[in-house]
Amino acid sequence: MLLLLMACSGKKERLRDLIEQGNEALSENEFHTAIEIYTRAIEIREAYASALNNRGIANHRLGNYENAWNDYSRAIEAEPDYYDAYLNRVLLAIDFNQFYRAKEDLYQMQKQYPDSAEVIFSLGIVYAHLYEYDRALETFNKVIKLDPQNEEIYINRGTLYYYRKAYRKALEDLDKAIAINAEVPDAYNTKAMVYTALGDYGRALEQINRSLSLEPGHAYFLNNRGFIYLELNALDKAREDIDASIASDPDNAWAYRNKGIYYLKTSDGPDAIRMLTQAANMDKFVEKVYFYLGEAFRQEKKPDQACTNYKKSANNLEKEGLEAFKLYCSD
């Protein structure tokens, strides 16, 4: 019996040491090392939930979606009430645009944690990505009551107001976020987009430059500044920012749309069609992408294709698409 107790005690100490070493590597962003250490712990105890969860975090940081998903799932199997593993799996699904998977987990979490601001906020993010804007707004309103000093909630609700063209409300929320924390670049980025929509490009440029001063080289911020430069007809600066954005994040459909607009403005119809088609294929909900495609086909004297795309834009209730279809495509 004494030998058995000593063996069990030695195993626990070994596991504790491995977890501490793995956590240290994880905190220092040494993700490959962390995975190796956590794997050694899991080899000793197969259903070691915390080691599986933390290995999932390391895999997530490395972009290993399937490995991270499997690790989080095994952690949940080992401990069905493991909040952190559930939430990490949700965040992983959001990062990799698996929004229905994320929603399913969040619904499950709500049963166990109905008053968790973190869970409710994450659900609002998922609703917004799924274009369920009414449900997203309702969710953000609820979570603000639970956590009124969280600037991220105001930024996301402000972004939602921007999508719904409620620009005054958007600016109010974004200013509230900045009052809580003036060092959050996303707030200035969204303010830039609001001012762009209002046609105030001077203020828009000021805000987006503030974002980039806080997070230089951010792909989305560069792309948004590129769009502002397009609106100002500063085409060389626009192309420089948009190209840098695509190089940093080649999966952003909005950047290809903006590159297509650049080619439209430089009268390069074929390249405009190529870029805009790529943007539409990546994400059909990119704003005005079909209107711009219509413009590109019209520039190339292809009226049938132009009208097909103007109609798609009109079906999305875009003012420009409606006007273009009426002007160029009505008998």
Q: DSSP of 230-298, one letter per residue?
A: HHTT-HHHHHHHHHHHHHH-TT-HHHHHHHHHHHHHTT-HHHHHHHHHHHHHH-TTSTTHHHHHHHHHH
Does the structure show a pLDDT above 50 at 4? Answer: no
Q: 3 or 305: which carries more pLDDT confidence?
A: 305
Least confident of 86-100, 230-244, 266-280: 86-100
> What digits encode the pLDDT tens for the residues 130-158?
989 999 999 999 999 999 999 999 999 99
Of 5, 23, 3, give the one whose Cα is nearest residue 15: 23
Does the structure show a pLDDT above 80 at 9? Answer: no
pLDDT of residue 97: 86
pTM for the model stands at: 0.82
pLDDT of residue 156: 95
pLDDT of residue 276: 98
pLDDT of residue 14: 79
pLDDT of residue 11: 67
User: Quick count: other Cβ atoms within 10 Å of Cβ 67?
Assistant: 16
Q: Which CATH architecture group holds 149-250?
A: Alpha Horseshoe (1.25)
pLDDT of residue 10: 57
Does the structure show a pLDDT above 50 at 7? Answer: no
User: What does the block give as tokens for 132?
Assistant: 């369920």
Whether 318 contacts 295, CB under 8 Å: no
Does the structure show a pLDDT above 80 at 56? Answer: yes
Whether 53 contacts 75, CB under 8 Å: yes
Q: What percent of the chain has pLDDT over 90?
A: 86
* Mean pLDDT in residue range 220-231: 98
Whether 197 contacts 167, CB under 8 Å: yes
Three-point CA angle 81, 82, 83, nearest 5°: 100
Does the structure show a pLDDT above 80 at 278? Answer: yes
* Mean pLDDT in residue range 198-205: 97
CB proximity list for 224: less than 8 A, separation 6 or greater? 189, 192, 193, 196, 208
Average pLDDT, the chain: 93
d(Cα 303, Cα 275) in Å, to the nearest integer? 19
The three-class DSSP label of residue 64 is coil
The domain segmentation of the chain, as residue ranges, is 149-250, 261-331
pLDDT of residue 44: 86
* Mean pLDDT in residue range 151-173: 96
Of 160, 126, 184, give the one whose Cα is nearest residue 172: 160
* Mean pLDDT in residue range 162-179: 96
Q: What are phi and psi of 232, to 5 degrees?
A: -90, 0
User: Quick count: other Cβ atoms within 10 Å of Cβ 82?
Assistant: 19
d(Cα 77, Cα 4) in Å, to the nearest integer? 28
